[in-house]
Structures are given as structure tokens and as C-alpha cells.
Amino acid sequence: MRAFALLTICLVALTSSGQVSAATELKVGDPAADFTLQASNGKTYRVSDFRNKQAIVLAWFPKAYTRGCTLECKSLAEHGDMIKRYDVTYFMISVDPLDENKGFAEQQHADFPLLSDPTKKTADAYGVLGATGTANRWTFYIGKDGKIQAIDKNVRPATSAEDMAATLHELGISTRGQSAVWSVLAVELL
């Protein structure tokens, strides 16, 4: 009993000192947490850069160069044309250092940016930080309005591109040609 009481006191002390945190998990309908993160392509991205312009997809992954993450990156690199049909920008994102993600992106011939969150602040804000200090493999679909439209917590790495395209279709994200057609129609109606 005494050991249990001591353990409880230690856990309370750790929690109140900020050493252990329980991040609030974002839900569908919540505003996406903004961030400023560097990418494998040398650019810096923010969620707010896309607000009222384009939907975005954030595919969190645990660790560069690991089996599942390699399969996921390969799927997105080889079948990205399925995703690029939609008016969306997509990223893979991890807590790996930028240099690791750059090398991983090059190795997998990724033609999309891999974002790095080495401070883990963004992972914490999205509620994806796992007990091992890596991100859970979850994908967030964010609408033009900056709100989360869907969260996939059952990502299948080998079919990630196909599954992402299917979700974009289900969410009614416009295709790139569709956006242009609507713009032309709007101009013609005026």
C-alpha cells in the first residue's frame, strides 16, 4: 500500500511539473492546429497558408527508414497521381530531424514534402505523440476552411495513396479540373 501511495505521489508530481502531458486529441470539426515547419524540399509550411485556398492532408508517420513508413512513402510517391487529381496539398510529417526526412524523401523519390517536427510541439498539438516519443500513424484531412474533416487512425501503409484518394473523394474535395470549370462558369454567369 505504501509503495502504491508513493507511486501515485510521483505521478502527480511529474504531471504537475509538466514532465508528462496528456495532449488533447483533435476531433472532426475542430480547427486544425497551425504550425510553422520546415520541409524536405527546403520550404517552410503553415496550415494557415492554405486557409480559404486549398484542402490539405497531413499523413503523420512514426520514423523515417522503418518498414511501415517506407511502404507508406513509397505508396504516396508511386501513386501520388491519384491524390493530385484533387485540389489538395499533401504532406508526410514526423518528429524526425529535417536531415533524416530529407534523406528519406530522396531515397523514396518523394515528389511531395515531408515535414519535420523535431520539437514535437505540433505532434502534441495534434494529439499524435505516442508513448515511445514518435508520432502515431494517423492522417488528418483539413478542409479549405481550416477545420478537420476526417481523421484516419487505421492507415494501411502499402495502400496509403489509394486510401487517401478514396477519402478525398468521399469528403467531396473538388478535383483540380472541377475547380477550374467552376471558376469559368462563375465568370461566364457574371
Residues 6 or more apart in contact with residue 114 via CB below 8 angstroms: 39, 40, 64, 73, 91, 92, 93, 94, 101, 102, 104, 105
Domain ranges of the chain: 24-177
Residues 6 or more apart in contact with residue 2 via CB below 8 angstroms: none
Check: CB of residue 55 under 8 Å from CB of residue 143: yes
pLDDT at 115: 98
pLDDT at 72: 98
Mean pLDDT per 10-residue section of the chain, whose length is 190 residues: 41 34 76 97 97 97 97 97 96 98 97 97 96 97 97 97 97 77 43
pLDDT at 6: 39
pLDDT at 25: 81
Burial class (CB in 10 A: 0-12, 13-18, 19+), 136: middle
pLDDT at 184: 41
Which CATH topology does 24-177 take? Glutaredoxin (3.40.30)
Over the range 42-62, which residues count as b (16 or more CB within 10 Å of their CB) and which as e? eeebebeebbeebbbbbbbbb
DSSP-derived 3-state class of residue 92: strand
